Amino acid sequence: MQKITPFLWFDSEAEEAVKFYTSVFKNSRILSTARYDEAGAKAAGRPVGSAMTVELELEGQKFIALNGGPVFKFSEAISFVVDCQTQEEVDYLWNKLSAVPESEQCGWLKDKYGLSWQIVPKALGEMMGDKDPQKAGRVMQVMLKMKKIVIADLKKAYDGK
């Protein structure tokens, strides 16, 4: 049982966002949807029957999406790291999720709902964690110039090429 569940506050697009996220991540599903009844709709200023919360699971991680109104917005202070095994996986997720090109840097992107993601190949952590500070430093220098992480370019830097 998962003890901590991220709770994502949307204005009114929680259902739309959940459908989008579950279409992007292969191992995902919508678990349940709670809808506003008359009392809840009146208190929240939402239409009766509209989605209040949607529980979902992405790659084994549960989330809850709330239609809470325009009071709060996402910021880069919170992001979700997605560990990728291959460049193909990095490319796929980057192409599906990235919607704000000016927010892209060092593997970070922002989606069309304003949520920040870090699309990170496992190889990056391995190379940056190398005991040889020269190798790790070269990788860091190359990574700092990237938007989307390109494993082949990291590998060249790691190898001193």
Q: What is the pLDDT of residues 100-152, one digit of tens each?
A: 999 999 999 999 999 999 999 999 999 999 999 999 999 999 999 999 999 99
Q: Are 144 and 98 contained in the same domain?
A: yes
In this prediction, residue 133 carries a pLDDT of 95
83, 150: one domain: yes
Q: What pLDDT, on a 0 to 100 scale, did the predictor assign at position 156?
A: 97
Contact 109, 80 (CB under 8 A): no
> Which of residues 1 and 109 earns the better pLDDT score?
109
> What is the Cα–Cα distance from 30 to 18, expressed in whole angstroms?
7
CA distances from 35 to 18, 32, 51, 66, 96 (A): 15, 10, 4, 10, 28
Residue 85 sits in the same domain as residue 151: yes
**Contacts with 131 (C-beta within 8 Å, 6 or more apart), sequence order:** none
Residue 148 lies in a domain: yes
d(CA 125, CA 17): 29
1: pLDDT strictly greater than 90: no
Domain shared by 90 and 49, yes or no: no
Q: Does 119 lie in the same domain as 50?
A: no
- Asked if residue 42 and residue 90 are part of one domain, the reply reads no
| pLDDT band (50, 70, 90) for residue 27 | very high
Same domain for 43 and 99? no
Strands 28-35, 51-58: parallel, antiparallel or unpaired by DSSP? antiparallel
Q: What is the pLDDT of residue 51?
A: 97
Checking if the pLDDT of 161 tops 90, the result is no
Domain extent for 97: 79-158
Looking at residue 44, its pLDDT comes to 87
pLDDT digits (tens, 9 = 90+) for 73-82: 999 999 999 9
Residues 102 and 127 in one domain: yes
Residue 88 Cα distances to 96, 133, 142, angstroms = 12, 28, 20
Contacts of residue 114, defined as CB under 8 A and 6 or more positions apart, other chains included, come to: 73, 74, 100
The structural domain count of the chain equals 2
60 with 89, same domain?
no
Residue 99 has pLDDT above 90, yes or no: yes
Cβ-contact 48, 103 below 8 angstroms: no
